[in-house]
């Protein structure tokens, strides 16, 4: 069975980095046809608009701009993005929120193959929004940030403000939404704890993270318990009690 060809563009200000990536793609990524290259934001925008690739390998930091400037000026074009980046905690957190595909420099061949395979799967899911578009919207409208949840068939997008609580069970996390729906994701609770800690969420128990905006009542006790907007009561660990009460000035 033949693999469907994906047209791709490489954007990186370093010629050597573009050459290396091009060689890796040619050798290890069957069915990826690189149709162009660009070295900066203006040429990237022009080339994307002209060639309309399905996939862009996009360096995050470039002279006189960055990857998000490229996305802002090509938002109307439907393409997937694999970000190429040196380590940046801020960038990695943004990518994780949006389940964006990224590879750390220097490029690891295994990670490159994995990212391309994920993009191939995503491109086959024509009914869902592209993760690069979700990332762009998150950067543009942080007050309405969305979280991409990977599923067995692709991914789902939920608004962070609609999450009431998250409960961990082994290697899975259950995410409970304000409309009563529940999503199950194969990520440990700590993954979400690190991601949501500065988004108004708190881990109040080894098994529970709660949205502080969804608290209705606090009931006193050794650790106490919280009644949330969905009517569920969540136990608070004694070692989390003061941190929680401190949030409310207690």
Are 117 and 236 part of one and the same domain? Answer: no
Residue 1 counted as domain residue: no
Non-local (6+) Cβ contacts of 42 within 8 A are: none
Q: Residue 216 — φ and ψ, nearest 5°? A: -105, -40
Are 27 and 130 part of one and the same domain? Answer: yes
Strands 32-38 and 6-11: parallel
The CATH number that applies at residue 98 is 3.40.50.2300
122 closest CA partner among 110, 134, 111:
134
**SS3 assignment, position 189:** helix
Residue 150 counted as domain residue: yes
Number of domains in the chain: 2
* Domain that residue 175 falls in: 145-247
Which residue has 């590879």 as its token pair? 103
Reported as a single tens digit per residue, the pLDDT across 203-222 is 999 999 999 999 999 999 99
Are 154 and 178 part of one and the same domain? Answer: yes
| Average pLDDT over all residues of the chain | 87
* C-alpha span between 191 and 134 (Å, rounded): 19
Reported as a single tens digit per residue, the pLDDT across 134-147 is 776 776 676 778 88
Rg of the chain over Cα atoms, rounded to whole angstroms, equals 21
14-40 in b/e form (b: 16+ CB < 10 A) is eeebbeebbeebeeebeebebebbbbb
Structure tokens at 51: 């060639």
Are 191 and 232 part of one and the same domain? Answer: yes
Are 10 and 116 part of one and the same domain? Answer: yes
- Look at residue 167 in the predicted model and tell me its pLDDT: 96
Mean pLDDT of 217-240: 94
Please give the model's pTM, rounded to 2 decimal places.
Answer: 0.66
- How large a percentage of the chain has pLDDT more than 70? 88
239: which DSSP letter?
G
User: Measured in whole angstroms, how far is the alpha carbon of residue 192 from the centre of its chain?
Assistant: 11
């Amino acid at each position: 069975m033949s693999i469907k060809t994906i047209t791709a563009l490489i954007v990186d200000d370093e010629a050597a980095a573009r050459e290396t990536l091009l060689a890796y793609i040619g050798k290890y990524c069957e069915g990826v046809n690189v149709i162009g290259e660009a070295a900066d934001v203006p040429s990237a925008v022009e080339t994307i608009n002209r060639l309309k690739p399905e996939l862009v390998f996009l360096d995050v930091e470039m002279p006189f701009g960055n990857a998000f400037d490229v996305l802002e000026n090509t938002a109307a074009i439907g393409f997937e993005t694999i970000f190429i980046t040196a380590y940046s905690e801020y960038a990695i957190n943004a990518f994780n929120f949006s389940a964006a595909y990224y590879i750390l420099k220097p490029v690891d061949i295994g990670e490159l193959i994995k990212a391309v395979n994920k993009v191939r799967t995503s491109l086959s899911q024509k009914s869902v929004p592209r993760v690069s578009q979700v990332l762009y919207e998150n950067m543009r409208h942080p007050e309405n940030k969305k979280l991409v949840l990977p599923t067995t068939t692709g991914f789902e997008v939920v608004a962070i403000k609609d999450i009431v609580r998250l409960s961990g069970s082994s290697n899975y996390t259950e995410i409970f939404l304000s409309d009563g729906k529940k999503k199950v994701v194969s990520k440990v609770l700590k993954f979400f704890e690190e991601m949501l800690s500065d988004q108004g969420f708190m881990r109040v128990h080894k098994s529970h993270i709660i949205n502080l905006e969804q608290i209705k009542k606090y009931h006193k006790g050794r650790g106490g318990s919280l009644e949330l907007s969905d009517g569920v009561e969540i136990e608070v660990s004694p070692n989390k009690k003061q941190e929680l009460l401190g949030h409310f000035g207690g």
